[in-house]
Amino acid sequence: MINLLELYVKLVGLVLIGFMLGRKLPSTVPTRLAQFLFWVGVPISIIAFVRQADLSGPIWIAPAIAYLAILLGAFLAWLGIKVQTYFSKTIPQKSAQGSLLLAAMIGNTGYLGFPITLAMIGKEYFAWALFYDLLGSFPGAYGLGVALGARFGDNGQNQGQITQVAKAILVNPAIWSFGFGLLFRQIAIPDEVAFSLDILAWTTVALSLVLIGMRLAKLNTWVNLPQVGISLVIKMLIVPFLLGCTLPFLGLTGPAAKVIILQMAMPPAFASLVIAETFNLDRNLAVTTIAVGAMLLLITLPMWLWLF
Q: In the prediction, which pLDDT does 265 show?
A: 97
Are 103 and 228 in contact by the 8 Å Cβ rule? The answer is yes
pTM of the model: 0.87
Are 181 and 51 in contact by the 8 Å Cβ rule? The answer is yes
The residues with which 107 forms a beta bridge, in sequence order, are: 268
Q: How far apart are alpha carbons 115 and 122 in whole angstroms?
A: 10
Q: How far apart are alpha carbons 217 and 147 in whole angstroms?
A: 29
pLDDT digits (tens, 9 = 90+) for 7-52: 888 889 999 999 999 999 998 998 899 889 888 998 899 898 888 8
Q: Amino acid identity, residue 184?
A: F
Q: How far apart are alpha carbons 235 and 289 in whole angstroms?
A: 10
Phi and psi based region of residue 282 (left: phi greater than 0; alpha: psi -120 to 50; beta: remaining): beta
156: three-class secondary structure by DSSP: coil
Domains present along the chain, CATH in parentheses: 2-307 (1.20.1530)
pLDDT digits (tens, 9 = 90+) for 51-79: 888 887 889 999 999 999 999 999 999 99
Task: Report the candidate in 100, 109, 103, 102 with the shortest Cα–Cα distance to residue 66.
Answer: 109
According to the 3-state scheme, what is the secondary structure of 12-72? HHHHHHHHHHHHHCCCHHHHHHHHHHHHHHHHHHHHHHHHHCCCCCCCCHHHHHHHHHHHH
> With a cut of 50, which residues of the chain have pLDDT below it?
156
- Angle among Cα 235, 207, 180 to the nearest 5 degrees reads 85
Please name the residues in contact with 210: beta carbons below 8 A apart, sequence gap of 6 or more: 14, 15, 17, 18, 21, 33
Residue 187 DSSP label: S
Task: Report the candidate in 48, 103, 116, 86 with the shortest Cα–Cα distance to residue 263.
Answer: 116
Q: In the prediction, which pLDDT does 161 show?
A: 56
Q: How far apart are alpha carbons 302 and 240 in whole angstroms?
A: 13
Are 100 and 223 in contact by the 8 Å Cβ rule? The answer is no
